[in-house]
Amino acid sequence: MQSVRRTAAVAIAILAAPPHGVIFIERASHLRDHPGQIALPGGSVDAEDGGDLQRTALRELWEEVGVASERVRIVAQLPMVRQTRANNFDVTPFVATVVPGPLTIDGNETAAVFTIPLHVIVERLQAGTVTVGELSVETYLLDFETRRVWGLTGHILRSFVDAWNDPADPLRGAVEGAFAP
């Protein structure tokens, strides 16, 4: 029996001021799904989103880290990434620039919020293996300070880095253009 696929959206939210930190969350340890893992702000489509994935990404960015939509400029949508192991999510990533300002956490969902400089992601994301219990998972990963980004978030970042480095892809120009005053 095949389980039902669910739809979600995440924001690759890049601060518009150097060093152009990308916003990440550490998921709260009491959550049922992926407790304590590092993720991009995002989540499931809710009825209030009306099926609009961009609206979902913006709502989650507000709920999880306190970034109001007035501070956000969506500049690109990346291809959907299918989660195959755990929760059967089809996740659509949106790339956004964010006017710098306070970041606040929702303690119900988020244990911490932090940023990783954009250049670190572009330069250091790599293929690797993560061991979870008895399972070895081939993934893309990034170690930064005391945190490790991997799994679905690593795959989403791989899609972003590939687009960023592809001279034929408009992503980099759209992001850098949004940084201009």
Which residues constitute the domain of residue 16?
6-170
pLDDT one-digit tens code per residue, 54-106 = 999 999 999 999 999 999 999 999 999 987 666 678 999 999 999 999 998 87
| Band of residue 146 on the pLDDT scale cut at 50, 70, 90 | very high
Q: Is the pTM of this model over 0.75?
A: yes
Query: Partners of 127 in the beta sheet?
Result: 140
* Residue 54 lies inside a defined structural domain of this protein: yes
Strand segments, DSSP code E, in 42-150 are 42-44, 72-77, 81-82, 89-98, 110-117, 126-132, 135-144, 147-149
* Residue 181 lies inside a defined structural domain of this protein: no
* Residue 27 lies inside a defined structural domain of this protein: yes
pLDDT one-digit tens code per residue, 19-30 = 999 999 998 766
CATH number of the CATH domain containing 149: 3.90.79.10
In 3D, which of 67, 26, 59 has the Cα closest to residue 42?
Answer: 59
Residue 115 token pair: 């940023």
* Residue 1 lies inside a defined structural domain of this protein: no
Rounded-to-10 torsion of CA 73, 159, 53, 87: -140
Tell me how far apart the alpha carbons of residues 162 and 164 are, in angstroms, rounded to a whole number.
5
* Residue 175 lies inside a defined structural domain of this protein: no
When divided into structural domains, the chain yields a total of: 1
Asked if the model's pLDDT at residue 108 lies above 90, the reply is: no
* Residue 126 lies inside a defined structural domain of this protein: yes
* Residue 179 lies inside a defined structural domain of this protein: no
* Residue 44 lies inside a defined structural domain of this protein: yes
